[in-house]
Structure 1
Amino acid sequence: MKFLRIGEPGEERPVVLNDSGRAFDLSPLVADIDGDFFATETFLRARQALADGTLPDLGWELTADQLETRTPSGERIGAPIARPGNIICVGMNYAAHARESGAEPPKTPVVFLKPANTIAGPYDNAPIPPGAKKYDWEVELGIVIGKHASYLNSAEEATAVIAGYVAANDLSEREYQLPGEAGQWTKGKSLPYSTPVGPFLVPSSEVDGENLACRSWINGEIRQDSNTADFIFDIPTMVQHLSQYMLLEPGDLILTGTPEGVALSGRFPYITDGDVGEFEIDQLGRQRQSYYQLVTQ
C-alpha cells in the first residue's frame, strides 16, 4: 500500500495504491494526507477500505519502479504529505558524509529545522536561488510521524509513533550554510522549494527503514549510492532523541541525513542552470527535478 497526492499545487487530493499499484481515490475517507489523517487513524482504515472495495477506482496503475512525472491520467504528482507542522533534520548521520564534509562523525545527533514551506513535489522544477553559488543535493530518507510524542522512554516507544517513510531531497546552499565559524544552517536550508518529497508515502509496517538503498544522479551520472544500514544513529534512536527536545506531532517530517557523494565533497560540481537531478530510495520511488536559475528584477 502506498499513498500519494495528485493535482496542481494547493489543489492536491489523496490517493492510495494497492499492492499491485492500482490507484483508488481516498477522498471518501479523508480530505488530505495531513496530521489529521494520521491522528484519526484514517491511515489504518485505508487498508480495510481497499480490502472492502469501497474506494472509487481511478482506472490506472503506478509502481515504485516507474519514473512518471504525472499519473497515467495526466495529473501532477505532488508531495505525498500536505505541508507538515515541522520539518526536522538530522545532519551528518552517515560517517562517510561527515568525513567528506570535513567533520568528525558526531557522538550525538546534529539537529536543525527547515521551514515547512520549503516542501515541494517530487517532479516540480526546482529554482536555483539568485546569487547562489554552491547549490547542493542530498537524497534522504524521510520519517513521517503518526502520533503525538514527547519524552519517549525507549526504542520501542519511538518505533510505535512512526507512520511511514518517504524519499526526500534536502537541497542546500552551502555558501549560505557554512561561512564563518558558526555557520548559518538555517539560511542554507530554508530556500523556497528546497525540500522535494515523494512520490510515495509507504507505511512503516511495510518497509525496513534500516535497510534501504539511497541513490542520486545528476545529469544521468551517479553521485550517491549508499544504504540506510550505514546510519550512525538508527531510526528509533533519532526519534527518541528528538522527543526529548520537542513535541513531535502527527504529520511531522524527519529527514535522517544524507550519504556521501554530494558536491560539498569537492568531487563534483554544484547544481547549475539546466541540470537534472534524480533521487531514489528503494520501495519509496524516484524523483526528478530540472533546475533553473531564478532571476529577480
Structure 2
Amino acid sequence: MMTRPPVFPGRLAADTLTQFRQTSPLVHCMTNDVVQSITANVLLALGASPAMVIDSREAAQFSAIANALLVNVGTLTSARAESMLAAIHAANEANKSWVLDPVAVGALGWRTEFCHQIIKLKPAAIRGNASEIMALSGLAASGRGVDSGDTSLAALPAAEALARQTGAVIAVTGEVDYITDGEKSWAVPGGDALMTRVVGTGCALSAVVAAFTSLKGERVDNVAAACRVMSCAGELASREAKGPGSFTPAFLDHLYLIGAESLANENANGGA
C-alpha cells in the first residue's frame, strides 16, 4: 500500500502567505483565453499583480521583468507557442521562476509534444491533474481533455518520478493535492466539489503556484502553501455558496480575507 505523505501544516502556509502579501509578486500569465479573468481576479484578491502579455514582441521582455511566469497550454496556438518559448528563455536568463500548467496533455498530440519539449527548460513547478501528470511522465493515463480519469494519489509515483526527471516541484491536484520535489512530499486536503463546477479554479491555482515559487524558502513548501491557501478558501466559500454562480464571488472574498487563523485551523481544510 502506498504511504500517504504528511499533511502540510497550516501554520507554515500562514507564514508563507504573509511573505507573499509583503512581496506582492508580479506574475506574467501566459494562460488560456477561457480563464484570464478569474486568474487575474484570484491573484489580485490574494495581493499579487497579474499581467497577460502574449505577443512574442513583448513576452520575452516582460517575463524578465516579472517575478514569475505561468505557461498554460489550454488554448495553444503556433504563435502562442513561439511566444511562450521566448518568454521561458528570457525568464531563465533573468533567473526568474516559471511554471507549467499542461492542460489536456495526453489527450491531444501537439500540446503533449510541446510540453515534453519545454519541460527540458527547467520549470520551477508543474501543476496539473492526475491524468496530465501521468501522461507528462510517460505513463498511460485515462484523462478526457481537462478532466482527469485518475486519482491524485495514484499519480503520486509519476509525480515523484517527474520531479526527479525535471528538477521541478510537481503539484498533482484533485480531491487531495499532492506536492513533491521527488524526495519530500506533502498532502493538502480540503477544497470542495463546487471548485470543479466553475471555470478556471485549477488554472488560477497554477498562477498562484507561479507567484509562490518566487518567494524565499524551500520551493516544495511554497508550492504546498499555494495549494493550501486555495483549497482552504474554496472550502470556506462552499459553506455559504448556493451553487456555482454564488461560489465564485464568495471564493474571491475568502481569498482576500484569508489569514493565519483560517489556515491554521485544522478543521478548515478537510480535517487536516
Class of the TM-score when normalised by the shorter of the 2 chains: under 0.3
Compute the TM-score of the two structures, normalised by the length of structure 2: 0.24
Q: Which one has the bigger helix percentage?
A: 2
Compute the TM-score of the two structures, normalised by the length of structure 1: 0.22
Q: Which one has the bigger strand percentage?
A: 1
Please say which structure displays the higher CA radius of gyration.
1
